[in-house]
Amino acid sequence: MAINARHAMKSVGQLYIAVRNANLEDAVSMAKLDLPPGDYVLISIEDTGMGMPPAVLERIFEPFFTTKTAEDGTGLGLSMTFGFVKQSGGYIAAESVEGKGSIFRMFLPRAMAEGSIEATIIEPSVPQPLP
């Protein structure tokens, strides 16, 4: 998502990424997002770049749809993100205004498992010269 935003901004604008907990319990929120009630993680990715016209915005999650040239990519990034979010039981939405930027919001089900996570520190290896 961040790489797509960087490419779409064409070196103009700023990128903001935010993560927060979201509880969807009221009927308005659930109907609007087509999600069951519960706890979610909301990941917002917003840029202040070029924005998209409505005709492009309508198609952004289609496989192989792209506004990039052949050298710049395949057009799979957003459709893969859409598939991942849906398969995870979540929801993704995008808003965009030409000349002002875009915002993507991903709601992913929040894991409520108890327990602790142990950190493992892996020392980076130093590349050895080829013989």
The predicted-structure confidence for 17-68, as pLDDT tens digits, reads as follows: 999 998 887 655 666 777 888 889 999 999 988 889 999 999 989 888 877 7
pLDDT on residue 103: 93
Checking if the pLDDT of 85 tops 90, the result is: yes
pLDDT on residue 70: 67
- Residue 99 binned pLDDT confidence (cut-offs 50, 70, 90): confident
pLDDT on residue 116: 61
Residue type at position 57:
L
Residue 125: phi and psi, rounded to 5, are -90, 150
Nearest to 89 by CA among 127, 130, 37: 37
Q: What is the mean pLDDT of residues 78-86?
A: 91
Model-level pTM greater than 0.85? no
Q: Which domains does the chain have, with CATH numbers?
A: 2-109 (3.30.565.10)
pLDDT on residue 84: 93
Q: What is the mean pLDDT of the chain?
A: 82
- Residue 129 binned pLDDT confidence (cut-offs 50, 70, 90): low
Residue type at position 86:
K
